[in-house]
Amino acid sequence: VRRCSSMLDFDDDLSHWPRAKSNTFLNVCPQGNKMIVERLGKLDKIQEAGWFIAIPFIDNISYVVDMREKALSITPQSGITKDNVQVRVSGNLYCQFVDAQKAAYGSKNPIYAVKQMAQSSMRAAIGELELDEILHARAKLNAIIRQTVQESASAWGVEIKRYEITDVSPDKFISEAMDQQAAAERERRKKVLEAEGDKRSAELQSEGVKIRLKNESEGTLIQITNQAEARKKQLMLEGEGEASVIRMRAQAQADAIKIIAESLSSETAREAATIAVAREYIAMYGEMGKSSNTMIFSDKPADMKVLMAQASAIIKATSDSQPTNA
């Protein structure tokens, strides 16, 4: 039963190579397999999937090659990395027979040869890389092992599809150191994040204070500007009002002078004006007598020029006597 099952299923157990099949005259090659038929100990033909006839005792089905892709488990291999760290690395090798004749005659046991080649290539690749590269750059290590194995496996009719590392286990002390390093790194990141948060919070607070002060200063500036504009308009309006009053007074005085001038054009008006001036002159004498001891009498009271001269002398005497009385 085990022999019959081995003809249908590919098993990477080393004891199952080479796989042969009994010649029953009418034979069937399963799909996905190829059979190597030898006649009198020499290669006769490579039988594809289907039925075929082989002469018993003359023809011998020496090899049954499974042409499907299979995965070979690579046991953990110990190695020393470039930075002198001992690790154990395991993986899976995915391969496929592409040439049945080379698979049968290229190596006594191609499965064993491929696995041994993968193990030695993995140890060699580990020695060329540091531990961090092995842990974080597995794709690079996978590519190196696959390329190395493929160079040798081509002679055995095997195509290496891919190689995948399944586990990397450093020794106990390195694992503990890595755990401590990871914990320290997490603590460092925590502190960095907290510091970044505090920094961002301080930046936002200072930005808020800056915006508030800026808004307050802008508000104060607007208030001062508005007050200055209001004061300016007030002064302008007051000035315009005073100018209007002065113009009105000047116009009134001009009109009065014009009317007086027109009135003095007649002889009667001149006499009336003379009487008015004399009345004012007499009133002036009365006011001067109240505040001064000096009295002036005109010998020509009817002469207006004389009266005006006397009035000027009285005003001068009054102004001279005021500091003496003080």
Q: Is residue 292 pLDDT above 60, yes or no?
A: no
pLDDT of residue 6: 40
Q: Is residue 7 pLDDT above 50, yes or no?
A: no
Q: Is residue 180 pLDDT above 90, yes or no?
A: no
Indicate the SS3 state at residue 258.
helix
Q: Is residue 62 pLDDT above 80, yes or no?
A: yes
Give the integer Cα–Cα distance in Å for 46 and 105.
Answer: 13
pLDDT of residue 268: 66
Q: DSSP secondary structure string, 101-120?
A: HHHHHS-S-HHHHHHHHHHH
pLDDT of residue 252: 87
Q: Is residue 163 pLDDT above 50, yes or no?
A: yes
Over residues 88-130, the pLDDT tens digits come to: 999 999 999 999 999 999 999 999 999 999 999 999 998 888 8
pLDDT of residue 288: 65
The C-alpha torsion from 19 through 25 and 28 to 29, rounded to 10°, is 40
Closest CA to 93 of 6, 5, 12: 12
Q: Is residue 19 pLDDT above 90, yes or no?
A: no
Q: What is the mean pLDDT of residues 185-190?
A: 90
Q: Maximum Cα–Cα distance for the chain, whole Å?
A: 190
Q: What is the mean pLDDT of residues 57-73?
A: 93
Indicate the SS3 state at residue 14.
helix
CB 134 within 8 A of CB 88: no
Q: For 155, which DSSP code?
A: G
Give the integer Cα–Cα distance in Å for 21 and 54.
Answer: 12
Q: Is residue 140 pLDDT above 50, yes or no?
A: yes
User: Is the peptide bond preceding residue 18 cis, with omega within 30 degrees of 0?
Assistant: yes
The residue ranking higher by pLDDT, 264 or 109, is: 109
Q: Is residue 261 pLDDT above 90, yes or no?
A: no
The residue ranking higher by pLDDT, 123 or 277, is: 123
Q: Is residue 2 pLDDT above 50, yes or no?
A: no
**Band of pLDDT at residue 325, cut at 50, 70 and 90:** very low
